[in-house]
Structure 1
Amino acid sequence: MDKKLISAATRAMLAGLLCTALLIACRKKDVPAPSVNPGGGVTDTISDAVAEDSLKYLMYQIMQVTYGDGGRTAAGGLPTYYWYSQIPKLNPFDSQYPNADTLLAVMKRYAINSATGRPYDHYSFLDRTGALTNKLMNGVSARALEANNSDFGLEYAPVLSGNNNNGVQLFVLYADKNGPAGRVGVSKGWEITSVNGTTSFTNTYASLRYVYDAIFGSTSSVTLGFRRPDSTLFTATLSPGPYNINPVLFDTVFTVKNQVGASQKVGYFSMYTFASVINDKGQPTNTKTVLDQTFSKFASQGIRNLIVDLRYNGGGSTNTAEYLDSAIAPASAAGKTMYTYKYNDKLMATLNDNKLTTQVNFAAQTSGLLLDHVFFITSRNTASASELTLNNLKPYMSVKLVGDTTYGKPVGFIDFNISAYQKTGAKKYLADLYAINFATHNAKGEGDYYTGIPVDGLAVDYVDVPWGDKRDANLIQVFNYINNGAFKARIAQARVSAAVGGNLHTAIPNAKPLNNFNGMVDYRLSRAVSRIK
């Protein structure tokens, strides 16, 4: 049937069969008692077509009309989409939208950034497996056994090999210590020399896709050959499986000479994701544990400068950004404004009723570190909650950025978990909706960095250089600043190679995006919105 021909009565009936769940489920009073069939199971006859129509309808209602009653009526009042006012009225059942992703893609086109001439929103998406919420909120890896969602706990990048413009080498960017790859020792700078027996790779779609699918798109094991930085070879068969995320990939304390020649301790750690520090049960996660251990080490050694490496960090939970900021900030920031929220006009006008907050403060007591500077290593992959973290600290201390301009995402998500229910009460999970709901600004009102945050010291990311290695151009820049009080011009490969030896490699630009999440989610706001009546 052409969706244009679905009557208003039919749509109203469809809406009556549905309810929107936030995080876990609908309020119990909204769900009728389920009927039980002779086999003992709950009757559930929601077809795929009806489920998709339900998702389109509820997604549109939540974003554009109201969430006050779970998105079930046509009465306006509480649209949640940040740019809702710039979208014309659409019919979510129109046949030009065969699925909810198509409808969402159209909705994202309307709000145009006048500075770039392009849509603001290239962020919003639907998570149809629910794995992302589990990963970000509970700190547990994606459901590795689901189709097209394997997780070996590593990220890699292709580079052009030698003078052959078609030949490609593959290098590991990072590996979670708790993941299948990390447990066998894989780390940044290792070369992947074979994938399931294939040893030759080219800069072609077919070859790059083969590798991507083997590592990220398979539900079975993968056999990878590696060359370590010391040139020794290693082969491992990795099987996907759940693990508690350890976002800290590497940490150490350097001893560096300052401008007057005195030795100083410099803390350094790399972090690839902002999995939440508190899970959906209110309990501390492994992320909190490892961050506490890392900062305890830094405090015990009396570091005077800190390097936070976020070059591959696409963000995650805002509460982790807040926790990290309070651990880094000086005592003078304690209890003061960390950042503020801005919602759409209708939500801003009803703050007393919708339970949303507009301000987050630093902890009443910060960690007590006495830092001269905090240096953030960034890249075009540094996004959202990572950008929030560094932006929050700028009003209170010396913040220096090294590497490359950040991604540019000063806006974030409230997680809407959407499910459909029959009159029997049978539930069918549809998707988690991540559509832009708010913008953030630091205590000085600084934000809106849609084209990214520029760095103070330019440096190239050499993907075959291990964590903490002296050939890392980013570290060269930081140490030069501590030594001399200034950054050098962009650290070029020829200069680094000549100084320390070795043939350094950079990733092929735009060969493929990082496979991790890109954004920031405020689960505190998700809980607040769930209480809207």
Structure 2
Amino acid sequence: MKRKIFIPFLAISMLFGSCFEDLDDNIQQASNIDIQNFIYRGLNYYYLYKADTPELANDAFSSQDELDGFLKKYDSPESLFDYLKSPQDRFSNLYSDFRVIEDALSGISLSNGMAFGLVYYPDKSDNIFGYVRYVLPNTDAATQGLKRGDIFTTIDGQQMTRANYSDLLAANSYTIGFATYDGVNFTPTGETALLNKIQYTENPVYKVKTFDINGEKIGYLMYNAFIKDYDEALNDAFAQLKAEGATNLVLDLRYNGGGAVETATDLASMITGQFNGKVFYKQYWNEDRQAENARDGLFDASISSGAPINSLNLSNVYVLTTKRTASASELIINGLNPYINTIQVGDTTTGKFQASFLLYDAPAPVFSRQEANPTHYYAMLPLVFKTANVAGNTDFVDGLFPQINLKEDYFNLGQLGDENEPLLAAALFEIAGKPMPLHTNFKVLKEVSDSNVDSPINEKMIGN
């Protein structure tokens, strides 16, 4: 069986969402035990780490009544799900409203346009400052003139701390207070910006350009999520790079937390093109599903729409990474590494090599949206298989390590796509010998969180 995940979820959610809403007043809502039976069935069937939880064994319960007795020990679907998860599982999730993740899979979320990171103060207090990573077009952040590198320390006049930052930033509308940092102290500037979240569809193809440095044509692509709805935009970006004569590529995945495996396979084929039909990645499922479900992911020649892939046929690629680089982004690095010279520039990645797909409360083996139980909105995104490259490399729980180790300096970020931006400059030096700007007084600080943390697809790899 081959599951095609990452279908056009927006249209389907609109169609079936209306059906669910129409039925809400006419049928009884699902009980906890109904939802918990769904959770158990789905994990018993597909969960990658099924063997780690004795209660998920096929012979763990002799009857439905015995299983129900076990399930009733847990007071909520969430507590049951947490119990059944393996200790080695950092990434499986249960959602009480699958409409939220369906929107996220199509690139739709509530956003004020400010992509940010949150970092502890250098004085080792519980105080936190935020820094702007980039700004999305046609949002409040863009209208207010925010730019990469802006520092903010307060939300609605309150200093951000470990105890309050999550609640402060969860509001749909808030005012950030800007500050400067002199190497010792943060000083409020007195300037503020009111930011309102709206439903926003983000194009993950953020920046595309080609440099001409010392006779080398070097393409640059900043790509922020593997969203299948934007496969054509990604393919168009490679058409542009190809037309501009790029013979090298810097692929900026520093904030890319993952997405669709199929899109990652297409991206790898856009970078190369000379390995069509060869193994890009291998799949490893649980013992019950391996023989039936495992399929090799192959380099291919067309995107999901059927359009031919615009391939650069490169033998070198430079990938910019941070600790926020995860899942499908790591698949690109790991999958390409046996075939071409894949140079990682930046920081160690997250360490996510497992894939998931969305399970609804519906009959096995498909657990499909079309057959979903209409009395609740619960769905799961459990880990179902792990990936390995053609050489067998997998289980990189500590992340993928860069050949050129360089962390971002929150107080000297540079501008994305600019030749002097530190991570890009390091890659350009390796490719074409372009002198790198000097950076002094660099502080290595602890990052707490970021604007992606609440996204239901952050650090997810959606498989097929």
**TM-score band w.r.t. shorter chain:** 0.7 to 0.9
Which one has a bigger Cα radius of gyration? 1
Counterpart in 2 of 1:266?
Answer: 218
Match of 1:63 among 4, 18, 43: 43
Counterpart in 1 of 2:385?
Answer: 438
Counterpart in 1 of 2:325?
Answer: 382
Counterpart in 2 of 1:451?
Answer: 398
Match of 1:139 among 107, 113, 117: 107
Which amino acid in 1 is paired with 2:39?
A: M
Which amino acid in 1 is paired with 2:148?
A: K
Counterpart in 2 of 1:474?
Answer: 423
Which amino acid in 1 is paired with 2:341?
A: S
Quote the offset at 1:164 in angstroms. 7.9
Quote the offset at 1:306 in angstroms. 0.9
Question: Per-residue CA shift, 1:386-421, capped at 9, x if unaligned?
Answer: 11122222232211111122111111102102379x
Q: Give the aligned CA root-mean-square deviation in angstroms.
A: 3.6
- Contact 2:120–2:448 (Cα < 8 Å) also in 1: no
- Contact 1:177–1:249 (Cα < 8 Å) also in 2: no
> Is 2:290 aligned against 1:348?
yes
Greater than 6 Å deviation, 4+ residue runs: 231-234
In structure 2, relative to structure 1, the CA distance for the partners of 1:370 and 1:344 (3 Å cut) is: closer
Distance 2:139 2:33 in 1: 37
Distance 2:150 2:234 in 1: 25
Quote the offset at 1:170 in angstroms. 1.8
Counterpart in 2 of 1:155?
Answer: 115
Match of 1:252 among 209, 212, 215: 209
> Is 2:309 aligned against 1:332?
no
**Structure 1: runs of 5+ lacking an equivalent:** 1-22, 29-33, 65-78, 110-118, 145-150, 258-262, 277-284, 526-533
Counterpart in 2 of 1:195?
Answer: 155
Matches within 5 A, 1:228-243: 235-243=192-200
Q: Which SS does the other structure have where 2:332 is aligned?
A: helix
Counterpart in 2 of 1:44?
Answer: 27
Counterpart in 2 of 1:314?
Answer: 257
Which amino acid in 2 is paired with 1:190?
A: D
Counterpart in 1 of 2:242?
Answer: 299
Matches within 5 A, 1:156-195: 156-160=116-120, 165=125, 168-177=128-137, 179-182=139-142, 184-192=144-152, 194-195=154-155
Which amino acid in 1 is paired with 2:286?
A: N
Q: Which SS does the other structure have where 1:350 is aligned?
A: helix
Question: Per-residue CA shift, 1:495-516, capped at 9, x if unaligned?
Answer: 9334xxxx76655334568414
Question: Per-residue CA shift, 1:253-276, capped at 9, x if unaligned?
Answer: 23333xxxxx21212222222222
Counterpart in 2 of 1:223?
Answer: 175
In structure 2, relative to structure 1, the CA distance for the partners of 1:267 and 1:232 (3 Å cut) is: farther
Counterpart in 2 of 1:427?
Answer: 374
**Structure 2: runs of 5+ lacking an equivalent:** 1-8, 57-66, 182-187, 303-307, 364-371
In structure 2, relative to structure 1, the CA distance for the partners of 1:419 and 1:191 (3 Å cut) is: farther
Q: Which SS does the other structure have where 1:192 is aligned?
A: strand
Quote the offset at 1:295 in angstroms. 1.9
In structure 2, relative to structure 1, the CA distance for the partners of 1:228 and 1:251 (3 Å cut) is: farther
Distance 1:228 1:131 in 2: 40
Q: Which SS does the other structure have where 2:238 is aligned?
A: helix
Quote the offset at 1:337 in angstroms. 2.2
In structure 2, relative to structure 1, the CA distance for the partners of 1:164 and 1:336 (3 Å cut) is: closer
Counterpart in 1 of 2:356?
Answer: 413
In structure 2, relative to structure 1, the CA distance for the partners of 1:399 and 1:41 (3 Å cut) is: closer
Counterpart in 1 of 2:300?
Answer: 362
- Contact 2:154–2:177 (Cα < 8 Å) also in 1: yes
Distance 2:223 2:189 in 1: 27
Aligned residues, how many? 414
In structure 2, relative to structure 1, the CA distance for the partners of 1:426 and 1:452 (3 Å cut) is: closer
- Contact 2:271–2:313 (Cα < 8 Å) also in 1: no
Counterpart in 2 of 1:496?
Answer: 438
Which amino acid in 1 is paired with 2:459?
A: N
Quote the offset at 1:158 in angstroms. 3.0
Question: Per-residue CA shift, 1:331-360, capped at 9, x if unaligned?
Answer: 321232222222222212335xxxx64443
In structure 2, relative to structure 1, the CA distance for the partners of 1:42 and 1:194 (3 Å cut) is: closer
- Contact 2:122–2:445 (Cα < 8 Å) also in 1: no
Question: Per-residue CA shift, 1:120-153, capped at 9, x if unaligned?
Answer: 2111111222245323432322xx4xxxxxx324
Amino-acid identity (%):
25
In structure 2, relative to structure 1, the CA distance for the partners of 1:348 and 1:255 (3 Å cut) is: same
In structure 2, relative to structure 1, the CA distance for the partners of 1:232 and 1:304 (3 Å cut) is: farther
In structure 2, relative to structure 1, the CA distance for the partners of 1:96 and 1:252 (3 Å cut) is: same
In structure 2, relative to structure 1, the CA distance for the partners of 1:266 and 1:185 (3 Å cut) is: farther
- Contact 2:156–2:174 (Cα < 8 Å) also in 1: yes
Counterpart in 2 of 1:104?
Answer: 81
Question: Per-residue CA shift, 1:96-120, capped at 9, x if unaligned?
Answer: 42222222222223xxxxxxxxx32
Counterpart in 2 of 1:148?
Answer: none
Question: Per-residue CA shift, 1:396-454, capped at 9, x if unaligned?
Answer: 2211111122111111102102379xxxx982233220111111122333322222111
Which amino acid in 2 is paired with 1:521?
A: I
Q: Which SS does the other structure have where 2:439 is aligned?
A: helix
